[in-house]
Amino acid sequence: MNMLTRFLFIIFSFVLLSCTATLAQSKEPKNEKRDNSFAPMEEEQSAIQKKDMKKKGKKSYRAMFNKKMDKKIREYEARMEANAMEDKKQRRLMKKPQYSDPMYFGHKKKPKKRPPGKRKFCKECHIWH
């Protein structure tokens, strides 16, 4: 029984010490500067840099969104112009007799009209010309 009480006393004392240590750490003033053994002046410089960056580079989300939207609108307009030019070119090409005249069916050049006995089988359109 004596051993059990000693063991419980030791555990209780460790718990009590750990609680007091955490309370003591939380009561320290937060604005107190601590030395950083790896980079002692780094904290001060980073705080100054952050303030400067906030003043210089701070842009609202709306401004960034508008800038992206303007870029998207310019890209859209460029695509529409390119599509209009391509459509115009296709219309011009479709006016050629190769596409508009039914006699050119499947041919770049109009096939010759031969007499019925001399007609040949066309490999392009699979018709006898």
39-49: pLDDT as tens digits: 655 555 555 56
Distance CA 19, CA 118 (A): 111
> What residue type is assigned to position 94 of the chain?
M
Condensed to tens digits (0 to 9), the pLDDT of residues 102-117 reads 777 778 788 888 998 9
pTM of the model: 0.38
Tell me the pLDDT band of 50, cut-offs 50, 70 and 90: low
Q: Pick the residue with more confidence: 61 or 68?
A: 68
Output 90 or 10, whichever has higher pLDDT.
Answer: 90
Using CA atoms, how far apart are residues 129 and 122, in angstroms rounded to an integer? Answer: 7
Residue 94 CA, chain-centre distance (Å), reads 40
More confident call, 96 vs 31: 96
pLDDT at 76: 95
Whether residue 126 has pLDDT greater than 90: no
What is the predicted pLDDT for the residue at 91?
94
Contact 126, 107 (CB under 8 A): no
How high is the pLDDT of residue 87?
96
